[in-house]
Amino acid sequence: MSARPLPKRLRRFWTSKRLRDRLLVLALGAFASAYLLGVCSRTAGASYLACFVTFVPWLLTLERAERFRDALFSGLGMSVFSVALVFPWFPETAASYAGTSPSLVWPLFLLLAPVLEPQFVVFALVRLAVRRADRPHPALRAALAAAAAYVGVELVFPKLFFDTVGLGLHPAASLRQGAEIVGAHGLSFLLLLVNEGLALSIVRLARAPKARGFDHPTLPAALGILAVLAGAGVGHARRAALAETNGSSPIAVGIVQANITNYDKLRAEKGAFETVRTILDAHVKLSDTIRSQKRLDLLVWPETVYPTTFGAPKSEAGAAFDEEIGAYVAKTGVPLVFGSYESKGADEFNAAFFLTNDANGKVQRASYRKHMLFPFTEWVPPVLDSPSLRNMMPWAGHWKRGPGPEVVRVGSSGHEALTALPLICYDVLFPGFVAEAAAKGADLIVTLSNDSWFPDGRAPRLHLVSAAFRSIETRLPQVRATNSGISAVVAPDGEILARTRFDEEDTLAADVPRGTRLVTPMVAFGHLRAPALLTLAALLLGHAWWFRARPRNPRAPRPEPRTAPRRPRSKGPAAAP
């Protein structure tokens, strides 16, 4: 029985050395850039320097992309390599949560890479489409169009982690200040242009090293370096200006990280009552330790630290626990923020509760309901929710979305009133959501999170860096409480003033600078970034398409031939006139 012949396209691949070499080069360039992106994502020390050259290998190999299929292949490779090298912790995390093996999650994770990181594919296709148009300065047009499409897609596409390369600039204290104007995603746009400039200079040095004027090989790289230096200078001046405005009285905040995790295991071993008893006792003990050292204006416990509904007890024991928490606030006089569940009819919400006592000693309560829920683990889209899906994924969440961004006024007898912007875990990743809340006026951001389901400190560190950029974009200080780390206090310039270690019991007590309630450009106009960038990309793409598609004018004079026409041979002496 003879073997089936290979498809024509596959036969062509194996028989065309030139095609194989081109695809291999494209794959190697994507891998090198993805590796540098992984270095950039470490957000520690000098790792931010990698951000300025992250895309250079990929851009250099994209020069060999001759057709859109080449660009598509390169973009897909960049997506796959990036999720593998930047988020290697996710398959282990997902497998642990779903009770399966990481070896089963990894193939699905890589298969979904173009959905998780679609900006790379869009970037490669848009860049090639604009460069193919025979217009002046094709490299500049392509760089602007591709960078605009890249960041625009990041902003509008529901990416799982809402990550962007601009987050890698956090260790650069001056450079990160630009997020006040354009946000972390705007910094990504600028980084892409700097990388394009370096790549273009390398290409020009290889092709025309002696060119002069605007075609000088080093000009694009020099412009990129000047832009970086200018951004650093402006950021340094902005930090100095912020330091001068911190003249108001600071907010004394205490944060408790009890490092009690895996509530289901505790409940199975001790029962529901003893589990709640253990959790509350640990948090009260650590809170008393902080109070013995410092007078507090605010005490913060993590997300879902009270693992039952608060204010709507399901048993007599639950009602007693509710009263005990309120009595603690009344006794200490310190406002308390903690995570729990809130119910409304049959619906249940992941909520942050604010407890304060008034001048009469009566405890007042306010709450915020989490709006940005993590897909499937916390919330299933109604169009997908069904009994069959629940049977297949018994761990899928049942929570409902909260109404949206809010601010909560926290006032208590003996303490200066303040307005808090509450966020719960996934909320903090979305700059537009936080900016909308900041526009309502706040003194600080209060973030509650549960990062205990991560296997190590890599993901919590990225989560913290994303949270720090929300402080830069809004110029609001931030207190962040997690049950297992990393808890932190963040200044309005993004500096992490204090932090805990991952997977350790710890507390923080710090004086947090009060926000000045500035309306930053990011808060005022941040919602316009995606429409503006996508419009720019569409205009440059449309112009390139129109120029290539329009028919040639038949009346236009034809260009002179490159060589002189051949004279006809004479068959004899010319006849005399």
Cα–Cα distance between 543 and 199 in angstroms, integer?
24
Average pLDDT per 10 consecutive residues for the chain, totaling 577 residues: 58 66 91 97 94 97 90 96 95 86 92 95 96 79 96 92 95 96 96 96 85 79 95 94 78 94 86 92 96 93 93 89 93 94 90 87 90 85 78 80 92 76 95 94 94 89 96 96 95 95 94 84 94 96 78 51 47 41
Closest CA to 318 of 328, 306, 327, 335: 306
Which tokens hold the place of 8?
């024509």
Read off the DSSP letter of residue 375: B
Total domains in the chain come to 2
Regarding whether 315 and 268 lie in a shared domain, the answer is yes
Regarding whether 203 and 128 lie in a shared domain, the answer is yes
What would the 3-class secondary structure string for 193-212 be? Answer: HHHHHHHHHHHHHHHCCCCC
Which tokens hold the place of 405?
């961004």
Is residue 530 assigned to a domain?
no
Regarding whether 318 and 202 lie in a shared domain, the answer is no
Is residue 265 assigned to a domain?
yes
Regarding whether 221 and 271 lie in a shared domain, the answer is no
Cα–Cα distance between 12 and 78 in angstroms, integer?
24
Domain end residue (candidates: 466, 488, 513): 513
Alpha carbon of 394 to those of 397, 398, 433: distances in Å? 8, 11, 30
Regarding whether 58 and 131 lie in a shared domain, the answer is yes
Cα–Cα distance between 410 and 352 in angstroms, integer?
13
Is residue 154 assigned to a domain?
yes
Is residue 566 assigned to a domain?
no
Is residue 342 assigned to a domain?
yes
Read off the DSSP letter of residue 235: H
Read off the DSSP letter of residue 1: -
N-term to C-term CA, the chain: 84
pTM more than 0.75: yes
Cα–Cα distance between 437 and 514 in angstroms, integer?
17
Regarding whether 325 and 222 lie in a shared domain, the answer is no
Regarding whether 377 and 494 lie in a shared domain, the answer is yes
Regarding whether 227 and 314 lie in a shared domain, the answer is no
Reply yes or no: is the peptide bond before residue 424 cis, omega within 30 of 0.
no
Task: Give the CA angle between residues 65, 115, 103 to the nearest 5°.
Answer: 105
Cα–Cα distance between 494 and 469 in angstroms, integer?
6
Regarding whether 131 and 272 lie in a shared domain, the answer is no
Regarding whether 174 and 55 lie in a shared domain, the answer is yes
Domain end residue (candidates: 243, 276, 295): 243
Quote the distance between the C-alpha of residue 229 and its chain's center. Answer: 24
Q: What are phi and psi of 33, to 5 degrees?
A: -70, -40
The CA-based diameter of the chain, rounded to the nearest angstrom, is 128
Regarding whether 458 and 331 lie in a shared domain, the answer is yes
Rounded to 5, what percent of the chain is helix, strand, coil?
50, 15, 35
Residue 260, by phi and psi: left (phi above 0), alpha (psi -120 to 50) or beta? Answer: beta
Cα–Cα distance between 223 and 228 in angstroms, integer?
9
Q: What pLDDT shows up at residue 188?
A: 97
Is residue 503 assigned to a domain?
yes
Is residue 547 assigned to a domain?
no
Regarding whether 141 and 21 lie in a shared domain, the answer is yes
CATH number of the domain that 467 lies in?
Answer: 3.60.110.10
Domain end residue (candidates: 243, 278, 305): 243
Cα–Cα distance between 50 and 39 in angstroms, integer?
7
Cα–Cα distance between 540 and 149 in angstroms, integer?
10
Is residue 557 assigned to a domain?
no
Q: What pLDDT shows up at residue 134?
A: 62
Cα–Cα distance between 335 and 298 in angstroms, integer?
5
Q: What is the domain extent for residue 223? A: 8-243
| C-alpha atoms less than 13 angstroms from C-alpha of 371 in its C-beta half-sphere | 16
Is residue 424 within 8 Å of residue 350, measured between CB atoms?
A: yes
